[in-house]
Amino acid sequence: MTVGWFAGLVHPDSKQLTEALRAAVRDGSLAAGSRVPSTRSLAQELGIARGTVTRAYDQLVAEGFLVARQGAPTVVAELLATPAQPDAPEPAQPGVARWDFRSGRPDLSSFPRRDWLAASRRALRDVPTDDLDYGDPQGHPRLRVALAGYLARERAVATTPGNIIVCNGYTQALSLLSNALADQGESSVDFEDPSAPHLWDIPAGFGMSVHGIPVDGEGIDVSQLRSRAVVVTPAHQFPLGVSMSSARRAELARRAKDEDLLVIDDDYDGEFRFDRQPMGSLQGMGPDNVVYAGTASKTLAPALRLAWLALPSRLVGPVRELKRNSGLHAPLFEQLAMAELILSGAYDQHVRRSRATYRQRREHLGEALRGMRAKHRPHPAGISAGLHVTLQLDPEGPTELEVLDRARRRSVELQVLGPHWLSPGSHPPGVIVGYAAPSDHAFRPALQALVSVLER
Ligand SMILES: Cc1ncc(COP(=O)(O)O)c(C=O)c1O
């Protein structure tokens, strides 16, 4: 016999034989329409009982891999006999350089493992059995209660547990909001210019156009809004780092109310203000027209995929429905652990500790920049806050591309402003330094490496 598909089989039982045959049909070694050996000859060949082969064939006939006809040889089925698909290529993951200054990353090594473990243990111990069923797409009530309290206390958000929706990251939150806006017939969304490019694709995916609205030292230029919805980062503009002035906040809240606009307050790093108390959220000025969006990605870890929306009442129903349709609710134990963390005070403690660390890092970075020998020394822009600082490059000095090239050669990972502009044309050059990303022990050498990149 010449067939090679069973070459490695030694006295197989019927399950092993079935698997080998199934694999041979899938990968095309047994071609569609070809005869399989008779049960008698295959049993002889393999030194097994004929009934073992018969059971394997019967199984594969029942599954549709083989076709048996009365009085005719059994053949490989036509439709299923296509060769197996090659594996879909994995998207290339850029290797992270040795010194990591990517923006938007907290120090992952400071994740409060012990507190999270204790919170998870309590959650697992105390969760009522009924809560293990499908839950509320809006999120577990315990977390929503904890969040409503925390957000009122720390971010001056005016909301109730009933208006909160727990999401799988802000990315999903923006996706749900974009979907809701598209369903309501909105055709465009305004973003600050510059802003985070990976977020523009989200409303664009729902067929909406994205407009860039200029940002100056007071935040977004409200007089230039073009759409009925706008995404803003009032506490700490990403990436320029300015905080929206009180006059602009009032102007935006007023316009939103008068013209029934929807403002999305992306409070991605609002907890981290170093020079004064954090500003309250914009949402508190106009809860009927402003959506508050917060995330655990900067305070704890992006991998948690936990974020929250505090919605105007009219949006709760539609967004809840969309959340139901996109995977129901966020995973229960993460929600409950997060609730425990907040209610026990461990979350506030962790945020306070992180704030002190990042403040210090920002100061060290400032000192290092001031001590630079370079003729064209970059200047930090924006307020003292957040996990990143944008350094304005001297137009006479190295270009963004030159800085990126030097960074790559010194294994330093950072970003430049260029890709963050929505409007075409020339823009002031800058480098975005995420100083929270390195772990504590790596911060000093990482800073040295950064300075060597920026120093001519
Ligand atoms: C501007 C901005 N907002 C929000 C987020 C948080 O997104 P997520 O909660 O999906 O991690 C990020 C993350 O990088 C961001 O850059």
Each residue's pLDDT tens digit, 399-413: 999 999 999 999 999
Q: Could you tell me if residue 9 is inside a domain? A: no
Confidence at residue 1, expressed as pLDDT on a 0 to 100 scale: 47
Report strand pairing: 99-100 vs 412-413: parallel
State if residue 59 touches ligand 1 by the CB under 6 angstroms criterion: no
Q: What is the pLDDT of residue 79?
A: 63
pLDDT exceeds 90 at position 89 = no
- Asked if residue 215 belongs to a domain, the reply is yes
Based on the domain organization, do 166 and 242 belong to the same domain? yes
Q: What is the average pLDDT score of the chain?
A: 92
CATH of residue 401:
3.90.1150.10
Whether 421 is covered by a domain: the verdict is yes
Question: Would you say the CB of residue 196 lies under 6 angstroms from ligand 1?
Answer: yes
Query: Cα–Cα distance between 351 and 298 in angstroms, integer?
Result: 10
Ligand 1 atom with minimal separation from the 171 CA:
10
Do 424 and 299 lie in one domain? The reply is no
Share of the chain above pLDDT 70, in %: 96
In which domain, by residue range, is 405 found? Answer: 350-454
Q: Are 25 and 65 in contact (CB under 8 A)?
A: yes
Same domain, yes or no, for 258 and 240? yes
193 CB less than 6 Å from ligand 1? no
Q: Are residues 150 and 35 in the same domain?
A: no
Q: Are residues 162 and 225 in the same domain?
A: yes
Q: Are residues 276 and 321 in the same domain?
A: yes
- Identity of residue 45: E
- 27 — pLDDT class (breaks 50, 70, 90): confident
Is residue 101, in this structure, part of any structural domain at all? no
Report the percentage of the chain scoring pLDDT > 90: 77
State how many domains the chain has. Answer: 3
Query: Ligand 1 centroid vs 294 CA: distance in angstroms?
Result: 9
| Pair 441, 107: CB distance under 8 Å | no
pLDDT tier at 393, thresholds 50, 70, 90 = very high
CA of 124 to the centre of ligand 1 (A): 29
Report the half-sphere exposure of 442 (CA within 13 A, side-chain side). Answer: 18
Is the CB of residue 238 below 6 angstroms from any atom belonging to ligand 1?
Answer: yes
Q: Are 330 and 166 in contact (CB under 8 A)?
A: yes
342/368 same-domain check:
no
List, in order, residues 6 or more apart from 108 with CB less than 8 Å away. 301, 437, 439
Find the angle CA(124)-CA(127)-CA(130) to the nearest 5 degrees: 130
What per-residue confidence (pLDDT) applies to 265?
Answer: 97
Q: Which pLDDT value is given to residue 2? A: 46
Domain with residue 306: its CATH number is 3.40.640.10
Question: Is the CB of 200 within 6 Å of ligand 1?
Answer: no
pLDDT digits (tens, 9 = 90+) for 242-286: 999 999 999 999 999 999 999 999 999 999 999 888 888 999 888
- The reply to whether 82 falls in a domain is no
Same domain (yes/no): 186, 331? yes
28 belongs to a structural domain: yes
Q: What is the pLDDT of residues 4-22, one digit of tens each?
A: 777 778 889 999 999 998 9
Q: What is the CATH number of the domain that holds 47?
A: 1.10.10.10
Note whether 331 and 395 are same-domain residues: no
Q: Is 174 in the pocket of ligand 1 (CB under 6 A)?
A: no
Out of 26, 58, 76, a domain closes at 76
Residue nearest to atom 7 of ligand 1 (CA): 170
pLDDT of residue 94: 65
Q: What is the pLDDT of residue 456?
A: 67
What pLDDT, on the 0 to 100 scale, is given for residue 71?
82
> Which residue, 348, 383, 416, sits at the end of a domain?
348
Q: Which of 348, 382, 414 is the last residue of a domain?
A: 348
What is the pLDDT, as a whole number, of residue 309?
A: 98
Looking at the structure, tell me whether residues 132 and 250 fall in a common domain. Answer: yes
Same domain, 119 and 220: yes
Q: Is 98 within the bounds of a domain?
A: no
Dihedral-angle region of residue 71 (phi above 0 means left; psi in -120 to 50 means alpha; beta otherwise): left
Q: Would you give the DSSP letter of residue 48?
A: S
Could you tell me if residue 340 is inside a domain?
Answer: yes
pLDDT at 455 (0 to 100): 86
Contact 307 CB / ligand 1 (< 6 Å): yes
194-240 pLDDT, tens digit per residue, is 999 999 999 999 999 999 999 999 999 999 999 999 999 999 999 99
- Same domain as 359, residue 318: no
